[in-house]
Every structure is written in C-alpha cells, then in structure tokens.
Chain A
C-alpha cells in the first residue's frame, strides 16, 4: 500500500520538478497579491498616528491615544508591532497552498485523457492509493511553493518575529495539513470530471470564496458577523493564524489558540483524506 502510494507520488513529483515554468508561473499570482496589494493596501497604516498629528495633541492625551491605537492594532492584527505587509505575506503563504490544491484534480483528468489512468486502474492496487499518491504529491508541491512565497515575502520586506522553533515546526506541519485537506476535497469533487474546462471552473469556484472567507487579507474581528463562522470553518484561516502565531507575534503568542488551530487542521485533513479515499474506491473508474 505504501509502496503504491509512494510510486504514484514519485511520478507526479518527478514530472513537476522537470517542468520549472509551471512552478514559476504558480508563483506569479501570490507575488501580485503580496507585492502590489500587500504593499499598497496598508491597513495597519490606519493605526499609525502621524507625527505632526501626535505633536498637535495636548501632551496629556498623547499617551492615551497611542495606547488606544496600539490596542486596536493588536486586537485586529495579533500584536501591536505587526505591519500589514507581513500580515498579508503570511496570508499569501497559505493562499498559495490553496492555489496549488485546487488544481490537484487536474492530473487525474489528464491521466484519464492520455490513457495512463487505465494503466493505473488495471494494476492490482487500491483506487485510494491513486488518490492518496496524488494528494501527497500536491502537498509536497504546496509546501515547496509556500516556502518560495515566504522567501519572496522576506525579500520584499516581511518582518519576522518567530516564536519557538517548535511552534515554527508546527506551522510547517499546518501547511502540509492544509494541502492534504484541500487537495483531497478537490480530488473527491473532481474525480469523475472528464475535461479540464470543468476543473478550471471548479478551481475558480473555490479559489476566491475560500480566500475571502479566510483571514488572509483582513482579520476575522473586522468581518461582518455572518462571515465570522465561515472563516472559522475555513481550514485556510487556521493555517494562516498558525503561521502568524509562529512567525509574527513573537512572545505574545496565544498557545491555546495555536493548539486549537493545529487540532482543527489535523482533524480536517484526516476527514478529507478519508473522504477522498472513499470517493476513489467508490467512484474512480474507467466507466464514462
């Protein structure tokens, strides 16, 4: 079983490593979101009181105003020192995982069209191995891409304030768990779709709603009430918050929240992978 999965995963990854243009193209979108949107839309700038305004205030209220704004910044953005660019950059590290995962079903459509899927299906392997191999391959890809986005963010001026190495390791795991969750779901949905046009449609259908109902671009506390529960359900939110806890908040990290995010993601990934395997055993076939 493990041999089957790793053989299929190995094939996918070999093909991926050998086509660098694809890899680079997938980085373009997050680069725009981060480089243009993240730089221009300086949300935390609203909480920085300009010097001249501060000076024109009566001296006794300066402190009060400063602490008020600091409180607001840390309520919305986790810690008073967080700048919006770093906030968005951590969001984008997770969003690239989304972008990679929503296309994970495409390779099944291609294998089907090229006849390779039939070859997998006549081999004495479990159908779920085919899906799990592809899910794991997508997850490794997502992890590599996320690392590249993080490096891009650092190059563009992201400011890190990491907590302990253990928490950082957990954040890395959370990226992997998110990728497993999303790609399993996407593959389960697209298992029987025959043409890549449908896959594009599914990808577009999932991409923006999942990004906007997560905390990638703005904090949950600022969302309208009806959207808050959606953000909590969205696994993207949990990875983003874990990343921010581990990389940005330094010592002001909320450990209980961190553990909850990790537990939620683990459960979500397990369920999604289970669903993907079930769907594969039940529905993956050469029949039309």
Chain B
C-alpha cells in the first residue's frame, strides 16, 4: 500500500489555479520531497493531504483513507509540522506537548511516557519545563517536531521544516528528522525550496512549479535525466587549436571558449575528463587548472522550468507571518 496517493489534485482559489492536476504516490518509509519556488503549490498540496482544505477536484488517500470523506481517520494517522512556529510561546515545552496529547486523545498515563520519549528524541529534556519564549529557533522547531509525533503518526508532513533557520541549525534539524524517521518508522512528505536539502535528504523528489508536477524521481535520477556535468578549464594553447580538439571528444554536449578559459557541458564527466586531459597533454596543451562540477538540482529545476527558483512576493499575511517567524527564531 502506498502511504500517500494523490490523483489529479486541482485547487482553485477564486481565479487563481493553485494546483493544476497533481498526481504522485509516496511509498511507506520514504522521505518524499516537494521541491519548488514559493507559490508553486507545495503548501496547498500539504493542506489538501492534511484535510485542512478540500480539493476543487481530484482525489487523495493518506494511509488508505480518503482525505475528503474520512477526514478524522486521516487526521488521526498524520502529524503536521507547519511552516510557522505554532508552539505556544506562553506555555512551557511540556504544557505544549500535553495540549497536543489531549487533542489526540492520548490517555494520560500513556501521554506521560510518550512525552518523555519524544523529548528525548529531540533532546529537549532539560528545557522542557521552561516557557517556549525562552527557546531558540532551533529548539522551537524541535519542539514542533516532538509535538507532531505525540500520537505516533504514520505519516509526517513537514512544510518547509528549516525555513528561517541558520545553516548550522538547518543541518541539525535534519539530523533530528532522519533520526525520527528511523526510530519511529515514519513516512515523510516534506516541502522545501532549498535545493541542497532536498538533494541530501529526500529519497524521491517531485519538482513542482505553478501547480504542476514537472518531474518525479530520486535526486540522482533527476540530475542524470535533466542535468549535465560541467568541466571548466584554464589552458595555454601553445599554438594548438583547442576548439577543434574539444570537438573531437565524445560526450561533449556544448562548449564555450573565452581567451584561455573553456567551459564544457558534458555527459558522464567521469569518462570525458580523463580523455580530454589525455588529448590535451598529448598535443602539448598546458592545462593550468581544471574543475568538474556535478549537476545540482538547481540545474534540474532550470532545465525543467526554464527559470531559476524564483522568490515571489507573498501576500501581506505571508510576509507578516514570515517576519514573525524570523523574529521568533532570532529571539
């Protein structure tokens, strides 16, 4: 059974088409990423799958339950870590967790043990009795993770789990997420617009743009299908025609030469690179510097959409929330 199955999801807000026929499925135990710019439809997808909003058309099942007709069953098997920091500032860590436990009907004695467990998982035992307003951004996010796990969900939804956190904290949060997935046997659907995070942490990725899924696959597959290796050289020609030399090498897709610098887009760089070096040295070209870059998801994204991940001006509300989040994170 697939943990999540979405079939032709469409969502229209007024005259804005937020989702335009989104289909994908997530296997049990997978970390599945929705990657796309702001406004691409990532959060709308999560909101539909978590029963917060109803699709205009199309259907989806989470853990076998229909998100339109079996809302309370869906709700009891999922955990949501929303984009915003929603743990309550004025309550302590434990109070926040107790609140979530009662909202999920976890019996009191079970809840007490479970709260200990999740606090342990996210390393918040010491701070648990302090009010959340004294927490750092990373600690809040960890508490948020703990709160989403209190009822032992099967599927965890993470909406931009590292938004607004500094680089170090981001890496840290990812360690925790991976630990949770391992120890709690979770299936994770997450959204992000950080390419590097999606690349490093997701089993599979769906690239989403303007409400449509452009490609689905593992980061490696996507990069192989939509990206290419880039080789950059700095050479001294010594009278040799570098241009015709490069043309002879198999696997070079295209290239650009400016003065003594050459940039090549190639297939299977690991094979092209030695051949290129051999030919150049054989003909007497001096290679001063050489560098090969593997494709990034950025390139995949550009190849798929023709654009770089763009920052879109959010609504007033979104801007307000984000600044609020950032303020909380910095506090």
Chain A residues at the B interface, C-beta cutoff of 8 Å: 3-4, 6-8, 10-11, 14-15, 18-19, 113-116, 118-125, 194, 285-288
Contact = CB atoms under 8 A, between A and B. Distances in A.
Interface stretch (B26-34, B79-87, B300-308): B79-87
| 8 closest Cβ pairs, A-B complex | A115-B84, A7-B102, A286-B52, A124-B75, A123-B103, A124-B76, A115-B86, A116-B86
B75 A122 contact: yes
B266 to A, nearest CB: 46
Interface in B196-250: none
B324 A18 contact: no
Given A4-B103, A7-B102, A286-B53, A119 B75 contact: no
B86 to A, nearest CB: 4
B50 interface: yes
Interface in B30-84: 47, 50-54, 72-73, 75-76, 78, 80, 82-84
B90 interface: yes
Contact of A15 (B54, B90, B317): B90
Nearest to B80: A122
B78 A122 contact: yes
Contact of B88 (A7, A15, A113): A15
Nearest to B52: A286
Most chain B beta-carbon neighbours within 10 Å: one of A11, A14, A120: A11
Given A3-B102, A119-B100, A120-B103, 9 more contacts: A7-B102, A8-B103, A114-B86, A115-B83, A115-B84, A121-B51, A122-B51, A123-B104, A287-B53
A11 B13 contact: no
A15 B75 CA distance: 26
Nearest to A3: B102
A115 B85 CA distance: 7
A237 B80 CA distance: 46
Contacts of B105: 3-4, 124
Interface string B84-103: 11101011000100011011
Contacts of B83: 115
Contact of B53 (A3, A7, A285): A285
Contacts of B104: 123-124
B320 interface: yes
Contacts of B321: 113-115
A11 B102 CA distance: 11
A15 B132 CA distance: 12
B90 A19 contact: yes
Contacts of B47: 286
Size class of the B contact interface (CB-based, 8 Å): 20 to 34
A118 B82 contact: yes
Contacts of B75: 122-124
B90 A7 contact: no
A121 B72 contact: no
B78 A288 contact: no
B108 to A, nearest CB: 9
Nearest to B101: A7
A114 B82 contact: no
A285 B52 contact: yes
7 contacts: A3-B102, A4-B103, A11-B88, A122-B51, A123-B103, A125-B103, A287-B54
Contact of B80 (A4, A19, A118): A118
Contacts of A194: 317
B90 A14 contact: yes
A51 to B, nearest CB: 58
A120 B47 CA distance: 13
Most chain B beta-carbon neighbours within 10 Å: one of A8, A18, A115, A194: A115
B319 to A, nearest CB: 12
Contacts of A15: 88, 90-91
A90 to B, nearest CB: 34
A119 B86 contact: yes
A8 B99 CA distance: 8
B52 A18 contact: no
B88 A122 contact: no
A120 B82 CA distance: 12
B84 A114 contact: yes
B321 to A, nearest CB: 7
A127 B141 CA distance: 26
Contacts of B320: 113
A119 B80 contact: yes
B88 A118 contact: no
Interface string B309-331: 00000000100110010000000
A11 B47 CA distance: 25
A118 B52 contact: yes
A3 B105 CA distance: 8
B91 A14 contact: yes
B52 A116 contact: no
Nearest to A120: B103
B64 to A, nearest CB: 16
Contacts of B82: 115, 118-119
Contacts of B86: 114-116, 118-119
Given A113-B317, A114-B324, A115-B84, A122 B91 contact: no
A145 B35 CA distance: 51
B291 to A, nearest CB: 44
Nearest to B76: A124
A41 B285 CA distance: 104
A287 B14 CA distance: 11
B51 to A, nearest CB: 7
A122 B99 contact: no
A124 B65 CA distance: 14
